[in-house]
Structure 1
């Protein structure tokens, strides 16, 4: 009988001891870190002119350099689709044979000349940009190396412009040409992996307002840029 009560006491003791033990809680894993792809961008491109007057040709390398910042605003739970808007600056130059000279009364004269009729001819402009993008990427908060396709619209305002023509005898300089469309806009698309991405801009409105060459042809050419865009977090 004494042995029976001793066993019963031991069983009760171990039962109470086992009830006091609590299972170890599993760590909570954070799935969504609410990250954003806020990014600085840097673009290097080659400028092209489309819908040009007859006989207009480009010469040398017409370059575009731009930089700015974009604010990323995801619109889905996985944060792989977003809208972004930002602010940037752009420098562009164009080497071509559309010359801009000035008559004695101050009237601007536009002409498409052969390259043997002048020594050099260049147009350049500086713009402030407002890029707006619709974004898709397969990124996660754990990795910033991913595929992306960003498409949108870039609104620009020409802060300053300058054209220089040297015909060997005279140099014609026109600053802030009033015939230039100060407000310019176009469609953009960029696609690639990680930092390296191809970039395309196509202007939707003409570079010049309603101007004509000395031959009477309207100048309705638009701008286009092809190059690389680098996104830096």
Structure 2
């Protein structure tokens, strides 16, 4: 009789468990939009000195990871700090030269046929952004507007000039600021998002051109892609 009671109890429990459905709401309430990002931009020199001009397509590349922390019940708003790396180059007519240990700046005179003149900057980035999106647990195609602030530390700078008679490169120019910062916005649908970054700091902390301090900031415009 005891064995019969145990068998009936076992079958009853099995029936109850077989009728229970998974609690998807518990999973849904915990989802995040943790994302890797990759960006490509066109870099514009802003507030540049007189006679300084860009003469070719200046590009920027960035990649990294952002950790998502939702701040409302529907998880449509979030704060996301991150870590990344970026590369920006600027092709212009400002020549950087090192004469006897002194950094000098000059403008390439019109009519001079040169092959290359560019400034390349490599950064470690610390972005933090405020996020709004229409995402849900079961769909990764949604509208988003992410706006934030990015602090960047310069790990390498390279100035390069090349013409028919001269070829020189300067690494880690001490006149360039190590810390850079600016505001940005990214907006779009699904993987494709328009992106803009505005630098809030002068690129140079020292250096002069024709007796005037060099004041240059940057505006980067392009596309940002997010991958879960």
| TM-score range for the pair, normalised by the shorter chain length | 0.7 to 0.9
Q: Which residue number corresponds to residue 231 of structure 1?
A: 226
Distance in 2 (CA, whole Å) between partners of 1:116 and 1:187 is: 38
Secondary structure of the equivalent of 2:111?
Answer: helix
Distance in 2 (CA, whole Å) between partners of 1:68 and 1:28 is: 35
Distance in 1 (CA, whole Å) between partners of 2:166 and 2:206 is: 26
Distance in 1 (CA, whole Å) between partners of 2:174 and 2:113 is: 24
1:137 maps onto 2:133 in alignment: yes
**CA shift at 1:216, angstroms?**
1.2
Q: Which residue number corresponds to residue 76 of structure 1?
A: 72
What TM-score does the superposition give when structure 1 sets the normalisation length? 0.84
Distance in 2 (CA, whole Å) between partners of 1:168 and 1:177 is: 24
Q: Which has the higher strand share?
A: 2
8 Å Cα contact 2:176/2:206 also seen in 1? no
Which of these two proteins has the greater Rg computed from alpha carbons? 1
1:102 maps onto 2:98 in alignment: yes
Distance in 2 (CA, whole Å) between partners of 1:68 and 1:128 is: 10
Written as runs of structure 1 = structure 2, the 5 A alignment for 1:76-225 is 76-103=72-99, 105-117=100-112, 119=114, 120-213=116-209, 215-225=210-220
Distance in 1 (CA, whole Å) between partners of 2:109 and 2:127 is: 37
Distance in 1 (CA, whole Å) between partners of 2:122 and 2:103 is: 21
For structure 2, the 5+ residue unaligned runs are 1-18
Distance in 1 (CA, whole Å) between partners of 2:226 and 2:21 is: 35
Written as runs of structure 1 = structure 2, the 5 A alignment for 1:10-49 is 27=21, 30-31=24-25, 32-49=28-45
8 Å Cα contact 1:186/1:205 also seen in 2? yes
**CA shift at 1:111, angstroms?**
1.4
**CA shift at 1:166, angstroms?**
2.2
Q: In structure 2, do the counterparts of structure 1 residues 28 and 172 end up closer, same or farther at CA, with 3 Å as the change threshold?
A: closer
Q: Which residue number corresponds to residue 11 of structure 1?
A: none
8 Å Cα contact 1:118/1:166 also seen in 2? no
For structure 1, the 5+ residue unaligned runs are 1-24
Two-structure CA RMSD over aligned residues (Å): 1.7
- 152-161 vs 164-173, greater mean Cα deviation: 164-173
